[in-house]
Chains A and B, each alone.
Chain A
Amino acid sequence: MTKRILIAKVGLDGHDRGAKVVARALRNAGFEVIYTGIRQSPEQVVETAIQEDVSLIGLSCLSGAHIPLFSRVMELMREKGVDIPVFCGGTIPPSDVETLKKIGMKEVFGPGTPLKVIVEKVKEWV
């Protein structure tokens, strides 16, 4: 069965070129990709992940609010009792990478990451 992946954009941020490119790369790699569209709340993302029963979540944020937003996503998942691996990307300063990994991000893909790298990592995880 094809693995399902949720690509989600959290927060007040309309820059979704990166999320769409990643979604398409994963589709071409044979995954079932569900894309939420822009400006989603952490609540919407977690609820969508539950209803779609995905194996992996990719979060994208280019607004600078990645730490509070991604933390909230992780917190909600704990509250709801689901445990889905999460990776993220966007314009994230290198100094934040460690913090994000601490809150549970499997990987942080910054600008310029080759798609091949993302696809290979994702295949490792699911």
Chain B
Amino acid sequence: MDEILDKVRAGDKVALSKLITMMEEDPEFRKQVIKKIYGCPVKGKIICFTGPPGVGKSTLIDHVISILVERGKKVGVILVDPRSPYTGGSLLGDRIRMQRHATNPNVFIRSISCADNPEGISRSVKDILKVMGLSGMDYIIVETVGTGQIAVEVSYICHTTVLVLMPNMGDDIQMMKAGILESADIYVINKCDISGADLTEAYLRDNIEAKDGWTPPIVRTIGYNRSTIVALVDKIEEHLSKENPRYREKIRGLLKTMFLDHVDELAMQFLKDNKEFEEYVDKVAGCECDYYTAVDELFAKMKEVFCNENKED
């Protein structure tokens, strides 16, 4: 493991790619890697692009990469696309929009599939971000699965969250709803060449608020017009350069979710192939017992087991 980590630190793309695969394949290996590198200084700033499917996230990222690379930066990109809950298969197609960067030595692009996770990012992504940071990238761009209304977890894992919208996506009531629309640092209205952009911008402007001295800007872009995207990159760099008092808080929030994820996993492991658990499921299915009672009783048993284990230690 040390050998591959050294290679990754030296900027070896093959090693980075292999390491990501190994981390995706084996959660235990992932854990070991994180234990090894946790706390190492990383310089990569994380920028997250989120928004509904088809608004142009990948196309914007393509331009953002090219502008950042021109400014002399190294850029890593993680693209998350959905995995079928039926067959387990997936078609990872975000990359198509940015293939012109495939051979650029300063760009590394990786597609990842994500199972049923309403947050739009897969659990391993958080760990993979850490190793990408290790490889000397100045910026790491994450594109989420096209997300709906509740995906705010992404805003915890990154320094800057860009929410991409397009005209005619609904009236002002849609914009007033809680959730993803509150979470972004920068708002983009893409496809501004189609009608309705003014109204969308007006609705949006009514509903975003300044937080901690930062008023989230609204940037209007057109996917095929690169010059409109320069303004977006400027805003991203401006946001990243500012001291963000919320950042510590965000990181704490992220660590908390990762912590809970891990607790979640431990509970799953405990319940997997657990005979009593299966019996409870049968009981609930047969209406002998409601599921709240079942969970309460199981939780009491789990506590007992964990406490006993500790005593043996």
Contact = CB atoms under 8 A, between A and B. Distances in A.
B235 interface: no
10 contacts: A2-B113, A30-B87, A32-B83, A33-B89, A35-B95, A37-B95, A50-B14, A50-B17, A51-B110, A80-B14
A27 B90 contact: yes
Interface of B: 13-14, 17-18, 20-21, 24-25, 83-84, 87-93, 95-96, 99, 102-103, 108-111, 113
A26 B91 CA distance: 9
Given A27-B91, A28-B89, A32-B89, A37 B99 contact: yes
Given A27-B90, A82-B14, A48 B95 contact: yes
A86 to B, nearest CB: 17
B89 A26 contact: yes
A63 interface: no
Given A30-B89, A36-B99, A52 B113 contact: no
Interface string A1-41: 11010000000000000000001101111111111110011
Among B21, B102, B111, the one with the most A-chain Cβ atoms within 10 Å of its Cβ is: B102
Contacts of B96: 35-37
Interface of A: 1-2, 4, 23-24, 26-37, 40-41, 43-44, 47-48, 50-53, 80-82
Given A32-B92, A52-B92, A52-B95, 7 more contacts: A2-B113, A28-B89, A32-B83, A32-B113, A34-B92, A52-B17, A81-B14
B95 A33 contact: no
Contacts of A44: 99, 102-103
Contact of A27 (B17, B25, B84, B99): B84
Given A43-B103, A47-B103, A48-B95, A53 B89 contact: no
Nearest to B93: A35
Main secondary structure of the interface of B (DSSP, over half): mixed
A60 B213 CA distance: 53
Q: List the 8 closest A-B pairs by CB distance, nearest first.
A: A37-B96, A27-B89, A1-B25, A44-B102, A53-B17, A30-B88, A53-B21, A30-B89
A46 to B, nearest CB: 9
A32 B20 CA distance: 15
B110 A52 contact: yes
Contact of B91 (A33, A37, A80): A33
B91 A35 contact: yes
A33 B92 contact: yes
Given A44-B99, A50-B13, A53-B17, A1 B24 contact: yes
A112 to B, nearest CB: 23
A53 B110 CA distance: 9
A81 to B, nearest CB: 8
A53 B20 contact: yes
